[in-house]
Amino acid sequence: MNDFGTWLKTTRKSKGIAQRELASITGMRPCTICGYEKGRFYPSIYAVEQLVDALGYELVIRERI
């Protein structure tokens, strides 16, 4: 598991949302959510934004100086 995958799984479970439900909300497939959580592959920034939003958070990208 990677940092994002760990965060995704922990946050999803803490909110009582099943992988299927999160997949339905975001328009992704449940196996895609599972793959992200297990670190099999990494989401695009667009997918991250969808997942973060679906879980009730806001994605903030800061420029490094």
Tell me if 41 is assigned to some domain: yes
Q: Report which of residues 56 and 64 the model is more confident about.
A: 56
Range of the domain at 25: 3-54
Alpha carbon distance 49, 26 (integer Å): 10
The answer to whether residue 63 sits within a structural domain is no
CA 32 – CA 28 distance, rounded (Å): 7
pLDDT in tens, 1-47: 569 999 999 999 999 999 999 999 999 999 999 999 999 999 999 99
Name the residue with tokens 């965060």. Answer: 7
Q: How many whole angstroms separate alpha carbon 24 and alpha carbon 1?
A: 23
Q: For the chain, how many structural domains are there in total?
A: 1
In whole angstroms, give the CA distance from residue 64 to residue 15: 31
CATH of the domain at 42: 1.10.260.40
